């Protein structure tokens, strides 16, 4: 799945971009954002404690990336909801909200 939308991330993130990885899981996009944005700090959110621990391990294994990653073990949202929206829903929908580079 990650490889399916990596081109959107590459098209939308520029050097110096401020990035947040919400639902960071094991850190695939966390590392990609850290390398592409090349910022001092990146903030990652992962609500699952085991995945947060694995994310921390991923960051430690990739210490050569010059970005400080701050991990928050919380759920991010605007309130309690029974509905979910995944990145699949957003990227592969008919919306014009996402404008990848050509």
Q: Is 15 left (phi over 0), alpha (psi -120 to 50) or beta?
A: beta
The pLDDT of residue 58: 95
Q: Are 39 and 18 in contact (CB under 8 A)?
A: yes
Q: Return the structure tokens found at 1.
A: 């799945």
The whole-chain average pLDDT of the chain stands at: 79
Q: Are 14 and 39 in contact (CB under 8 A)?
A: no
The 10s digit of each residue's pLDDT in 16-29 is 888 999 999 999 99
Q: Are 47 and 73 in contact (CB under 8 A)?
A: yes
Q: Return the structure tokens found at 74.
A: 């919380």
């Amino acid at each position: 799945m990650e490889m399916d939308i990596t081109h959107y991330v590459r098209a939308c993130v520029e050097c110096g971009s401020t990035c947040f990885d919400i639902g960071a899981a094991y850190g695939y996009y966390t590392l990609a954002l850290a390398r592409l944005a090349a910022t001092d700090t990146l903030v990652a959110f992962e609500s699952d404690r085991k995945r947060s621990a694995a994310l921390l391990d991923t960051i430690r294994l990739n210490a050569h990336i010059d970005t400080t990653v701050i991990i928050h073990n919380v759920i991010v949202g605007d309130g309690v909801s029974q509905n979910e929206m995944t990145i699949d829903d957003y990227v592969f929908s008919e919306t014009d909200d996402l404008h990848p580079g050509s």
